[in-house]
Amino acid sequence: MIQVYTGDGKGKTTAALGLALRAAGAGHNVFIAQFMKGRSCAELTSLKKIKSIKIEQFGNTCFIKKFPTLKDKALAKKGLKIVKDNLAKEKYSVVILDEICVALNLGLVNLREVTAIIDCAPEEAEVVLTGRGAPKEIIERADLVSEIKEIKHYFKKGVQARRGIEY
Amino acid sequence: MIQVYTGDGKGKTTAALGLALRAAGAGHNVFIAQFMKGRSCAELTSLKKIKSIKIEQFGNTCFIKKFPTLKDKALAKKGLKIVKDNLAKEKYSVVILDEICVALNLGLVNLREVTAIIDCAPEEAEVVLTGRGAPKEIIERADLVSEIKEIKHYFKKGVQARRGIEY
């Protein structure tokens, strides 16, 4: 099954992380590829305790300001290759491409590369894509799409991103 | 801060679970009260490995068919009391009331009891409420509200709920 968590609200990455936690509890092996992220996120510390979840980051330590660098693109391409290999080897029953939609919209990877992964995924695998702005080609191919809409966000009141809550 | 994950789409409970995982990784103690749930969910197995997350279920082992029983109500009331006590003791910095909105809409707990918890929560605590149909009184009080909309769901294609994915 292909699952997509998109939209402008908080909860996309955490929904995928929660799914990983649940899947691991049922005995599944889970692979999480975090695109666009290269700095220490608090979830990495917790995930070390769950052996059946493997997480790898394929992003720079700093945010992409306006235009991605060659390094940003190379990291994202590497991430996609590893995801593809892992799906082909059928080692993981749940494979999460965190923030892949943002990587797509910034041109770090292209739509053809991502849809090829979806189209070639083993039928028994659960492939989860997150990030705002999921393109319609991905929504069409997905079996489940949740749009997480921001109804209210404390960022608008000036609250800063907090470690353990936002990252 | 008060966070609410509501709407008809998949991802509300998993968003809260992912947040718990992230918060624990940053050194926070997390308490999860699962309302309406009493049967073994796969996430319970994974969470045992993370000592700083405590999860308790306050539901029957079977689903509520049409009308809740006295036992359903008593369990939910017990859950609310424990959440309230835990918040008062300031033992946990993140407290999650999973499916509390459904418990509210089914009349297991009443709105006054839930808003009292929100209103009395220590300012430093993160209180997270999940479940479809969050009432407007809760949305008004919340600092963050994400509505998870179902754009597509494989249940509509006849796929059954799967252990490790839906529970």
What are B92's two structure tokens?
């946990």
DSSP code per residue over B65-95: -SS--HHHHHHHHHHHHHHHHHHHHT--SEE
| Residue A40 Cα, gap to closest chain B Cα (Å) | 10
What pLDDT score does B112 carry?
97
DSSP code per residue over A29-90: -EEEEEES--SPPHHHHHHTT-TTEEEEEES-SS---SS--HHHHHHHHHHHHHHHHHHHHT
Spell out which residues of chain A touch residue B20, defining contact as CB-CB under 8 Å: 18
Give residue B151's pLDDT band: very low, low, confident or very high (50, 70, 90).
Answer: very high
What are B80's two structure tokens?
């609310």
Does the distance separating the beta carbons of B13 and A18 come in below 8 Å? yes
Query: Does the pLDDT of residue B72 top 90, yes or no?
Result: yes
Spell out which residues of chain A touch residue B149, defining contact as CB-CB under 8 Å: 7, 146-149
A135 touches chain B (CB under 8 A): no
Q: Which of A20, A22, A142 sits opposite B152 (nearest CB)?
A: A142
pTM of the full predicted structure?
A: 0.96
Does the distance separating the beta carbons of A21 and B17 come in below 8 Å? yes
**A140: how many CB neighbours lie within 10 A of its CB?**
10
What pLDDT score does B65 carry?
72
B96 touches chain A (CB under 8 A): no
Contacts of B66 (CB under 8 A, 6+ apart): none
Does the distance separating the beta carbons of A152 and B145 come in below 8 Å? yes
| Residue A59 Cα, gap to closest chain B Cα (Å) | 19
Q: In sequence order, what are the beta bridge partners of A32?
A: A55, A96
Does the distance separating the beta carbons of A146 and B151 come in below 8 Å? yes
What confidence tens digit (pLDDT) does each residue in B103-128 have? 999 999 999 999 999 999 999 999 99
Query: What is the C-alpha separation between A43 and B160, in angstroms, rounded?
Result: 30
B38 touches chain A (CB under 8 A): no
Give residue A40's pLDDT band: very low, low, confident or very high (50, 70, 90).
Answer: confident
A145 touches chain B (CB under 8 A): yes
Query: What is the C-alpha separation between B59 and B75, in angstroms, rounded?
Result: 6
Does the distance separating the beta carbons of B14 and A25 come in below 8 Å? no
Spell out which residues of chain A touch residue B141, defining contact as CB-CB under 8 Å: none
A8 touches chain B (CB under 8 A): no
A1-10, A125-134, B61-70: lowest mean pLDDT where?
B61-70
| Residue A43 Cα, gap to closest chain B Cα (Å) | 4
What pLDDT score does A28 carry?
98
